[in-house]
Structure 1
Amino acid sequence: MSHLLTLTGDGTFRAPTPEQALRLELPDDPHLAALMRLRALLGDDLEEQIGTRLYLPAALGTDETDHVLPATLALLAETTGDLVSYGWRVGPGLGRAWQRAAELRERMLDAARIALLGYEGPLMLTALGPATLAGATFLHSGERTLGDPGAVRDLPLLLAEGLIEHLGRLREHVPGAQPHLLLREDAVAGIHTGRIPTPSGRRRYPAIPAPDLGMLWGSLLAALEQEGLPADSITLGVGADVELLRAARDAGARRMAIGPRRLAPLESPHGRALWEGIAEAHDDGCVFELVVDPRPGGHLVAELEMMFEAWRRLGHTEADAAGFALIAHTGISHAVHAGTVDPSAQPDPSSLLDETAIESMLRTAPTWAERVAS
């Protein structure tokens, strides 16, 4: 069945507090409690025309190792490192923080076996993409991984190998799952435009052309597809740049996540090119998923209205937008995209989704489903 609208999250979910767990009669284990709440929220379609995509959290925010970056690093095949004073270092030696991140990943899989017993339906994993990993991590020398072209080229295959193994274990733990992967490229705009600072802060790393970034994505997508995860089951964040959009399409991406608040106005030359690129990709069968902040004050309604207005001005009807997805998010990737937050920075727990945000999205969804149904 094809839904008019699908709802999901960005791969984060703040662990219930002890008080919340007591009130909701949840177990003490934060992984099990979080998965049980997410199953209650997203484990069943909201109604016939509104689908949901349950996800396995990559971050609960229980400590400094419980975030999307270390969760992704722990997936990299045959790779070690640690959390040091300047950030997450990739290199020789297995540090305690890195080992802790790997342990948390295993605990989430074990919790999934219990909390998702009997579940059949979509189940999403989340990881940072290779471009963002390159900008968010450091080498043993103290330089960012971004400064070593050889290390950057290795990232897609290391990530693919780790994801393939993780997906295999997920299928063992939750046999009824239909795996989906969200690849968050929060820092790709800064990498593409040369805005990522060196450790000294006195200069910036050279910009990486969109075709080169597309080669990273192409390597990763091809490796995943070879192991049974087709492009239709992978959502790739592409920022808000027409060159990155084209590079993603050339790489084989069929589902792309964009943030409405990042899109330039249709009246500007850059905005016109981007919107026309989105329309062209849509007409070619690509699916777009919208990264939105559903919390009060998150401007969800204004962002979606802007999307519909531009869509109409390009000659499409609102019904042509049927099949899109909303990805609930608190806005941290927008800050990274804008350059106000360094991609290597340790996130605050407030940057993670909570139950209130997801419930707000669920309440809003029927209104938007009616819009595209008309």
Structure 2
Amino acid sequence: MSAESTFPQLAGPGATGIGSMPGTDAREAAKTVTGSLEALPHLPELPDRGPGADMVGRSLGLLVELFARVEPSGWRFGDHPGRDTRRARSWLGEDLDALEEHTQGWTGPLKIQAVGPWTLAASVELQRGEKALADPGAVRDIAASLAEGLRLHLADLRRRIPGAQLVLQLDEPSLPAVLSARVPTASGWQRLRAVDRQVAEETLRSLIGPLDLPVIVHCCAADVPLPLLRRAGAAGVSLDFALLTERDDDAIGEAVEDGTVLFAGVVPAVGPALSDPAGSVSGVRTLWRRLGLDPGLLARRVVVTPSCGLAGASPAYARLALSHSVTAAQSLADNPE
């Protein structure tokens, strides 16, 4: 099945958010996201609430038969579910309740997010203190636990919002570092060995394949391994457009022509006022011309997003960034040349 056939048709401008939103009010965040992103809303994440609502902690709460707690050094696996695990699951439940409230009767695509196995392994310590990434067996356990947790999470969402066409975003910002021996050890004095690219690909494929829904891999770092992600089964790749260089041209061109959807992070996640939506996507048009791609593919192959999550923005700027993304996506559809 091609990437194009698995990604749902959007009923409006192709725009969405990365995941995180400012503040601590789940219902206000759900209202903002569903009101601003009519074609592809997403489940908001609110890391301002503290550990367990952060990207990594939230996904650790999804794991089955693996539990983690917060230590001074960060997240660490433990023997049993403790306060931090219960808090992560409780906050996710609040977010799901709020999203369900604001998606009554929804019958379109809906994006959810979870941290992928490689970034989890690079972020969480084992009980003895080293990063889980240092232990191949621990990585396999994380991937298997995450797969089961996602299966249960998706089943819950399908019960809550039966008309939704679910799209999963796997957050893998650490993947380029994992592949190039740039993940520090727990002490910080050394770097962990690079993971073989074939192993990384197979781990992602074993997670993505059985889920039976389109999976987008988000990586807001340089050197995103596009061919690896395509072979692993990703229907789309989400990246910070400002980090692309001409070295990425061939991989992007091949991905687009193969049906991969490009989630282009072109709207600043924080920063100055936004005034020209068409200007925000001018780089996308330039890339299209440079690669000789069909302009008619722009609206079908590009989804406009902020460059990263919006947790660091003010509520007013977050709302503006989402609406700006929608207007920018519409400009691509209206004026592909």
Return the TM-score normalized by structure 1: 0.78
Say if 2:326 is the partner of 1:362.
Answer: yes
Say if 2:2 is the partner of 1:15.
Answer: no
* Residues 125 and 181, structure 1, Cα contact 8 Å, conserved in 2: yes
CA distance in 1, matches of 2:335, 2:12: 10
Aligned residue in 2 for 1:260? 241
Say if 2:288 is the partner of 1:280.
Answer: no
Q: CA deviation at 1:96?
A: 1.1
Aligned residue in 1 for 2:142? 155
Q: Secondary structure at the match of 2:110?
A: strand
CA distance in 1, matches of 2:10, 2:26: 31
**Matched AA of 1:287:** V
Give the % identical residues: 30
Residue of 5, 21, 30 corresponding to 1:35: 30
5+ long unaligned stretches in structure 1? 17-29, 45-51, 333-347
CA distance in 1, matches of 2:278, 2:47: 27
CA distance in 1, matches of 2:314, 2:196: 30
CA distance in 2, matches of 1:123, 1:365: 17
CA distance in 2, matches of 1:257, 1:315: 21
Could you list the structure 1 runs, at least 4 aligned residues long, displaced by more than 6 angstroms after superposition: 298-303
Q: Secondary structure at the match of 1:139?
A: coil
Residue of 67, 72, 94 corresponding to 1:107: 94
* Residues 58 and 67, structure 1, Cα contact 8 Å, conserved in 2: yes
Aligned residue in 2 for 1:85? 72
Residue of 217, 220, 223 corresponding to 1:241: 223
Q: Secondary structure at the match of 1:322?
A: helix
CA distance in 1, matches of 2:278, 2:116: 28
Render the CA deviation track for 1:148-180: whole Å, top value 9, x for unaligned: 111112222211111110111111111222111
CA distance in 2, matches of 1:276, 1:38: 34
**Matched AA of 1:13:** M
Deviates more, 1:302-311 or 1:167-176: 302-311
* Residues 7 and 327, structure 1, Cα contact 8 Å, conserved in 2: yes
CA distance in 2, matches of 1:357, 1:178: 24
Say if 2:46 is the partner of 1:59.
Answer: yes
**Matched AA of 1:366:** Q
Cα 1:103–1:191, aligned 2, differ >3 Å: closer, same or farther?
Answer: same
Q: Secondary structure at the match of 1:12?
A: coil
Residue of 96, 103, 108 corresponding to 1:121: 108
Aligned residue in 2 for 1:131? 118
Say if 2:160 is the partner of 1:170.
Answer: no
Render the CA deviation track for 1:11-64: whole Å, top value 9, x for unaligned: 112236xxxxxxxxxxxxx2222212222222x3xxxxxxx2111113352233
Cα 1:307–1:79, aligned 2, differ >3 Å: closer, same or farther?
Answer: same
* Residues 126 and 184, structure 1, Cα contact 8 Å, conserved in 2: yes
RMSD of aligned Cα (Å): 2.6
* Residues 26 and 46, structure 2, Cα contact 8 Å, conserved in 1: no
5+ long unaligned stretches in structure 2? 1-8
CA distance in 2, matches of 1:67, 1:298: 26
CA distance in 1, matches of 2:178, 2:262: 22
Aligned residue in 2 for 1:306? 283
* Residues 305 and 322, structure 2, Cα contact 8 Å, conserved in 1: no
Aligned residue in 1 for 2:297? 320
**Matched AA of 1:186:** P
Cα 1:350–1:320, aligned 2, differ >3 Å: closer, same or farther?
Answer: closer
Deviates more, 1:92-101 or 1:289-298: 289-298
CA distance in 1, matches of 2:144, 2:251: 29
Return the TM-score normalized by structure 2: 0.86
CA distance in 1, matches of 2:28, 2:290: 45
The total of aligned residue pairs comes to 323
Render the CA deviation track for 1:177-234: whole Å, top value 9, x for unaligned: 2111111111111111111111211111111232221111111012212xxx2xxx21
Q: Secondary structure at the match of 1:218?
A: helix
**Matched AA of 1:102:** R
CA distance in 2, matches of 1:351, 1:74: 27
* Residues 18 and 306, structure 2, Cα contact 8 Å, conserved in 1: yes
Q: CA deviation at 1:288?
A: 1.5
